Amino acid sequence: MLAQKVAVILLLFLAICLQGAWPVPDVNESHYVAKMIAFWNRDWVENDPFLESANAHPFFYLVFGWPSRYLEPEVFTWVGRVIGWLLLACGWYALAEPLLTSPSKILFSGILFVCLQERFNMAGEWVVGGLEAKVPAYGFAFFGLGAFLRGKWNFAWVLLGLATAFHVLAGGWAWLAAGISLAASRPNWTEFKKMLPGLGVGGALALIGLIPAVTLNLHVDRATLLRAYEIYLFRLGHHLSLFRLPTGAFERFFLLSFVWFLLEWNSVGSHSHRRFRMIVGASLAFATIGAILSLFEWISPPLAAALLRYYWFRLADVMIPAGVAVAAMRWDQEKPSSQAGISNVYRAILLAAVFLHLGSYLYIRVRQQIPRADENRVENYAAWRDACRWVAESGQVPKGSRFLTPRLSQTFRWYARRADVVNWKDIPQDARSIVWWWHALCEVHAYRDPAGQLRWLPNLAQAGTNRIVSLARRYQAQYVLVPSWPPLELPIVYQNSTYTIYQVPETSPPKP
């Protein structure tokens, strides 16, 4: 039995690896991993406004970040990925075991889950991805929900508290859904008293994630807070508001939710199954509330921005695919033997879907790739890397120097080990820094058209020499890295086929 369990976990881990093994840094890793490295290595990139902003996930940085003191960022990232993915595989086994009758169905449900979660999420939430706080949070949330389904209440609350410590929203929504599921079962006072130790320990662990999130904006005035909420909604609306979702995202999610309803129709199941169904239903209720709150964008935009920042769709993006994956396996295992022909066709369809999904990733993995953090964000990846490598290795750019860089680029500090002033990706977490970030982004990379509308410059170099010198002095940037055309009337320190690095005269030197 143990050998079967280990085999299932390893096979699921391999499927997760196949899906998540994008080149480093992945889209969010140049953001979150850089923050974690800077947390442990203050001199990694000095004088960087984003890295010096407040930390929203210090527990994650403490637990996962210390190897960055000894490993190169790329190696460190892969180590963290592997640990996170193994935690996800083990967590899924713990979640599915009370619901499914055989190791093979647990394995297939896990692979089906990662397939559906990737293809049918509504608000861009992912479980299998790069190294960030959500990965261990979901791993421990799965462990906690698995214990909850077994009725191991104390263990469940502790694990859900640990998930919340890693990521207050990913773990917190799971905690709340479990609480709703428990309340629906109407436990008596004796049962509730038995849970108090777990609730106490789990609550204390959850505070590790909650307190940093709450204290980010403790002494911020109301006007700054409201402005930060509006900026946050504008920048991350594709995660937060029903009316800012990517095209087709709601329709895909609605279809998957409808499939879940069909699979669960008239299903009775065990106590574990009813608890799980209630958790999935609670996640859908949270998403429905988020959809209703999205209407406030037309009624009271400040109120909508303040309420939608809690990512109401996040848990449903995870639990609806999980619910379908489990229900699909339960439907198969509960079919009477007289319907073997239907079951065979059903299994063939599921197998084909899963193999197409994994096969597509196998095809992607054998092709030459560039990191998704650079894809469609830099004009020429090889030239971008060459320019950043020169900054890092030439010895001509002092540590602590700051650069003006293209708006959509997000990997400059990762490759060059130098600071950039501002870019589109690196929105901070605390209100003051968010407002500063938006002001800097607009001042550096935008202009007003004749109608007064804000427009993004296609190329920072188009701002012109005088404007760029003024911006560099204001933001204490000693260098500018931009596409070579149009040229600027500044001293050139490096140039390749696509990019030019200029030095800005009479700018404050980096701090010693």
What is the Rg, in whole angstroms, of the alpha carbon atoms belonging to the chain? 25
Per-residue pLDDT, 509: 58
Mean pLDDT over 115-125 rounds to 95
Convert the pLDDT of each residue in 361-386 to its tens digit.
Answer: 999 988 878 999 999 999 999 999 99
Q: What is the dihedral of CA 504, 506, 510, 512, to 10 degrees?
A: 140
Q: The pTM is what?
A: 0.94
Question: Please, which pLDDT band fits residue 340 given cuts at 50, 70 and 90?
Answer: low
Mean pLDDT over 46-67 rounds to 96
Average pLDDT, the chain: 94
Domain boundaries, the chain: 2-366, 381-503
Per-residue pLDDT, 404: 98
Mean pLDDT over 398-426 rounds to 97
Per-residue pLDDT, 342: 67
Convert the pLDDT of each residue in 270-327 to its tens digit.
Answer: 889 999 999 999 999 999 999 999 999 999 999 999 999 999 999 999 999 999 999 9
Per-residue pLDDT, 337: 57
Mean pLDDT over 27-37 rounds to 97
Mean pLDDT over 454-471 rounds to 95
Q: DSSP string spanning 356-383?
A: HHHHHHHHHHHS----TTTTTTSS-HHH
Top pLDDT among 291 and 507 is at: 291
Residue 371 is which amino acid? P
Top pLDDT among 224 and 506 is at: 224
Mean pLDDT over 130-136 rounds to 96
The contacts of residue 320 (CB under 8 Å, 6+ apart) are 120, 253, 256, 257, 260, 280, 283, 284
Share of the chain above pLDDT 90, in %: 85
Per-residue pLDDT, 189: 80
Is the model's pLDDT at 338 over the cut of 70?
Answer: no
Question: Please, which pLDDT band fits residue 101 given cuts at 50, 70 and 90?
Answer: confident
Share of the chain above pLDDT 70, in %: 97
Asked if 403 and 384 count as a contact pair (C-beta separation under 8 A), the reply is no
Question: Please, which pLDDT band fits residue 345 given cuts at 50, 70 and 90?
Answer: confident
| Rounded distance between C-alpha atoms, residue 294 and residue 244, angstroms | 9
Is the model's pLDDT at 335 over the cut of 70?
Answer: no
Convert the pLDDT of each residue in 156-188 to its tens digit.
Answer: 999 999 999 999 999 999 999 999 999 998 877
Per-residue pLDDT, 510: 59
Per-residue pLDDT, 512: 45
The neighbour count for residue 113, using CB atoms within 10 Å, is: 27
The neighbour count for residue 254, using CB atoms within 10 Å, is: 13
Alpha-helical runs (H) found in 66-217? 73-96, 103-120, 134-150, 153-166, 168-184, 189-215
